[in-house]
Amino acid sequence: MIDETHDPARASWIASANGHADFPIQNLPFGVFSPPDGGTPRGGVAIGGSILDLWAAASAGLFAGAARDAAEAASGPALNPLLALGDGPRIALRRRLSALLDRDGPERGRIGKLADRLLHPIDRCALHLPAAIGDYTDFFAGIQHATNTGRLFRPDNPLLPNYKYVPVAYHGRASSVRVSGVPVRRPSGQRKPPDQPAPDFGPCRTLDYELELGIWVGPGNDQGVPIPIARAGAHVAGFCLLNDWSARDIQAWEYQPLGPFLAKSFHTTISPWVVTAEAMAPFRVPARPRGADEPAPLPYLSDAADQAGGGLAIRFAVALLTPRMREAGRAPHKLSAVGADALYWTVAQMVSHHTSNGCNLRPGDLFGSGTLSGADPGSFGSLMELTQGGRAPLMLPDGETRRFLEDGDEVILTAQATAPGRVPIGFGACRGVVLGAG
């Protein structure tokens, strides 16, 4: 639903929002922050370079009805209660926030007087995980990534026979998901290079990132009651960026027959803001069409509306900042860029598949899309793909090279949603610095 909150002519009286790459008034993502004075974590909304404190705004009586319900649900240390409410109250709160922050809104005078109490500079706040993650599921929906990595293991048969029928996924580790900015300790584990007769234990030698879209689950379903694809959208609360840090040597040795475990469970980084499904409405595009040689999705994964609007016009980028670049005062070096059209499956197909066996989703569950990679190297979403498993090192600007991540390297994911005639919106960065093994 596209409404007045998306109006490209709407600007905010918070000047930093206008023209902001991530958080113009057309975005209004939710997150959890601690204010500069060190108060308790609470819900907030990013607007330009500021965070609007939802608890303070609710206390000031700025909301009524469903918008007040949503603001109160978002006032605590985790947004799960807001996510549980579903899109009705969330949309009401969004509309009210958009009106309050509108440069030409009728209540500009009223809220302007409260600005000191309501607003905090974003870069002086601590940002937290937006929700307590009950379960984290990682999909494998980037078909080119599945092909590229499959080729490393199975050159003649990169894509397995189930790929175009099943939205393949595995359960991830919820406890080790951390917000952007938390350093990432290099994991140790069992490593068994092919030329070694037995494994040994030590620090990962082939640490990698994976660029993914994160998806926040809204109300969810009761156990035993699948979510039909036509109703899946109501259970998608919003989006973030996700770095599925991966220890390739640990993974290669451990993953048969039950899939990735310690190779992924040491750390997953997400961006701090829930960019709502509402904010994303203008950026919906047709889902990836099926080729003539590709099977139609099974009926439980087929929906005309999802086919027409299940795609997302988002472009993602990965950048790397090495210690040498940091010392030289260089900007991060862009490694790749890719669009969400890299996904073979839509988010609605993921929701419907996940619950098709009766598995229950809960508010605050998190999905990863799977690594986003395009057809050419400039669009690959991991170093394993960019360096062909380490065989072809990357050249960096100052003559440095990388096969995999080294200690001190920082990986920075960013993304922007764009559409003709619309104000672009972003996600905020998803970043993490690699620390040496403990």
Query: Minimal distance in Å, beta carbon 354 to its own copies?
Result: 8
What is residue 20's DSSP assignment?
-
Query: Minimal distance in Å, beta carbon 438 to its own copies?
Result: 6
Q: According to the binding rule CB under 8 A, does residue 68 interact with its own copies?
A: no
Q: What are phi and psi of 148, to 5 degrees?
A: -60, -45
Q: According to the binding rule CB under 8 A, does residue 179 interact with its own copies?
A: no
Binding-site size, its own copies (CB under 8 A): 64
How far apart, in whole angstroms, are the C-alpha atoms of residue 361 and residue 47? 30
Q: According to the binding rule CB under 8 A, does residue 196 interact with its own copies?
A: no
Query: Minimal distance in Å, beta carbon 112 to its own copies?
Result: 42
How far apart, in whole angstroms, are the C-alpha atoms of residue 102 and residue 10? 7
From candidates 198, 292, 304, 331, binder to its own copies by CB under 8 A? 198
Q: According to the binding rule CB under 8 A, does residue 253 interact with its own copies?
A: yes
DSSP for 266-282 reads T-EEE-S-BEETTTTGG
Cβ contact 209:318 at 8 Å: yes
Q: Which stretch binds its own copies (CB under 8 A): 29-37, 356-364, 391-399, 402-410?
A: 356-364
How far apart, in whole angstroms, are the C-alpha atoms of residue 143 and residue 284? 20
How far apart, in whole angstroms, are the C-alpha atoms of residue 286 and residue 307? 6
Query: Minimal distance in Å, beta carbon 85 to its own copies?
Result: 19
Toward its own copies, which CB reaches closer, 49 or 259?
Answer: 259
From candidates 2, 15, 115, 225, binder to its own copies by CB under 8 A? 225
Query: Minimal distance in Å, beta carbon 175 to its own copies?
Result: 5
Q: Is 145 a catalytic residue?
A: yes
Q: Is 428 left (phi over 0), alpha (psi -120 to 50) or beta?
A: left
How far apart, in whole angstroms, are the C-alpha atoms of residue 215 and residue 130? 12
Toward its own copies, which CB reaches closer, 232 or 275?
Answer: 232
Cβ contact 214:60 at 8 Å: no
Q: Which of 319, 308, 301 is nearest to 141 (CA)?
A: 301
| Residue 436: how many other CB atoms lie within 10 Å | 10
Q: Which stretch binds its own copies (CB under 8 A): 33-41, 61-69, 70-78, 159-167?
A: 159-167
Q: Which of 392, 411, 412, 384 is nearest to 205 (CA)?
A: 384
How far apart, in whole angstroms, are the C-alpha atoms of residue 224 and residue 180? 35
Among residues 145, 235, 267, 333, which one is catalytic? 145
Query: Minimal distance in Å, beta carbon 11 to its own copies?
Result: 42
Pair of tokens at residue 42: 């609470």
Q: According to the binding rule CB under 8 A, does residue 331 interact with its own copies?
A: no
Site for its own copies, residues 358 to 417, rule: CB under 8 A:
358-362, 365
From candidates 106, 109, 194, 257, binder to its own copies by CB under 8 A? 257
Residues taking part in catalysis: 145
Residues that bind its own copies (CB under 8 A): 134-135, 140, 150, 153, 160, 162, 165-166, 168-176, 178, 185, 187-190, 192, 198-201, 223-226, 247, 250, 253-263, 265-267, 295, 298-300, 353-354, 356-362, 365, 438
